[in-house]
Amino acid sequence: MRPYHRLPIRECREPLQPIPRGSLAWVEPHPYASLGAPYGDRDPDWLRSGVLKRLLEAQATLSQLAPGWRLQIFDAYRPVEVQAFMVQHTLGSLARERGVDPETGREKLLSEVYRIWSPPNLDPAAPPPHSTGAAVDLTLVDAQGQPVFMGSPIDELSERSAPDYYAESDPVAHGHRQLLNQVMTAQGFARHPGEWWHFSWGDQLWAWVQGEPQAYYGRYSLLEA
């Protein structure tokens, strides 16, 4: 359980909608689908309709502040099955990197994995943020379509993932992270306290960061039952 899971969810039942191609940029191929993550007939490039509206408004704000620059979508809707797959994939990668047995050192390794990855919890009162369709991982590309320097890649298991890690040491990386945060929070999004790339609106993490009494989006798969 994360601290934000204590907040209640008042599900608004907004549908998932596809993020339109065109004004936004994309990481292609999709980073988790290319690893074999089990999406089935579900699409990672979808968001709740209210979240999508705010995302497109954030792109409009970015276009005003940095003409030609675009938000680049890394990941959006993520079923719990995919969350579980990526936790195991990251666990295995970390074990190989450390040269340890993933089963023998499982608890210690998982404590590191869970710094970035939410546990794939099936409890409807405590869903992983991306399983709600309210969270999006993204970065920036410039007017030439080139990735903007952010100081560390998305999903890196290190202290460099913290949003203000470069506040004193690298004004370029920090400035770009601040720009991303500026355009997203201008539309009401909340940034994950430990991940410069993760933003959400309406889920429990958003409510916790914003001081709201409740969330509006629970795990989306419950609506499909």
Active site residues: 195
Q: Which of 46, 223, 21, 38 is nearest to 130 (CA)?
A: 46
58-93 burial: b if 16+ Cβ within 10 Å, else e: bbeebeeebeebbbbbbbbbbbbbbbbbbbebbbee
204 vs 119: CA distance, rounded Å: 14
DSSP 33-63: GGGT---TT--SSEEEHHHHHHHHHHHHHHH
- Chain centroid to CA 223: 21
Report which residue type is found at 107.
E
